[in-house]
Copies of this chain bind each other. A is one copy, B any other.
Amino acid sequence: MATEQQHPDYDVFAAFCPSRNVFAELADKWSLLLLLSLHKLGEQRFSELQRSVVGVSRKMLTQTLRGLERDGLVRRTVHPETPPRVVYDLLPLGHSLAERVVPIAHWVEENSDSVLEARTEFDAAHGAACA
């Protein structure tokens, strides 16, 4: 079947394709959540991000932010004050991706009930079949 991709040659389904690599790095809980938070709340410092994306460890926060920075989605600005102040914000490329992630977050918030219900049903049918 015809692929509908815009960019010739690039295909996230192909393991060897550079775009798969990019996809794999971004298709991760913390990356998407950080993108969403920076998009929604604007620039934030390290500790603010840790508070807005509840549950992220400092290590993952550092690591994920570095990845996003490396990918040209996020800008890291160090203000050499004291105590140190490091601010992160989205570059245009980051915003353009974040815009596409927002609908997913909304979908999840709207449909979590259905999902949870399906899970309960599934677990009842499978897990508790013959305890």
- A-to-B contact residues, CB < 8 Å: 1, 3-7, 10-16, 18-20, 22-24, 26-29, 32-33, 36-37, 40-41, 52-55, 69-73, 93, 96-97, 100-101, 103-119, 121-123
A-B contact pairs, 20 of them (CB 8 A): A1-B40, A3-B40, A5-B109, A10-B108, A12-B33, A13-B37, A13-B52, A22-B112, A23-B33, A27-B27, A70-B122, A71-B115, A71-B119, A72-B117, A72-B118, A72-B122, A93-B118, A96-B111, A100-B107, A101-B104
Q: Is the interface of A mostly helix, strand, loop or mixed?
A: helix
* Chain B proximity of A104: nearest CB distance (Å): 5
Cβ-defined contact, B70 with A119, below 8 A: yes
Cβ-defined contact, A1 with B115, below 8 A: no
Chain B neighbourhood of A13, CB < 8 A: 33, 36-37, 52-54
Cβ-defined contact, B27 with A32, below 8 A: yes
* Chain B proximity of A82: nearest CB distance (Å): 24
Q: Specify the chain B residue showing the minimal Cβ separation from A51.
A: B13
Docked Cα-Cα span, A116 to B7, in Å, equals 15
Docked Cα-Cα span, A15 to B26, in Å, equals 20
* Chain B proximity of A31: nearest CB distance (Å): 8
* Chain B proximity of A37: nearest CB distance (Å): 7
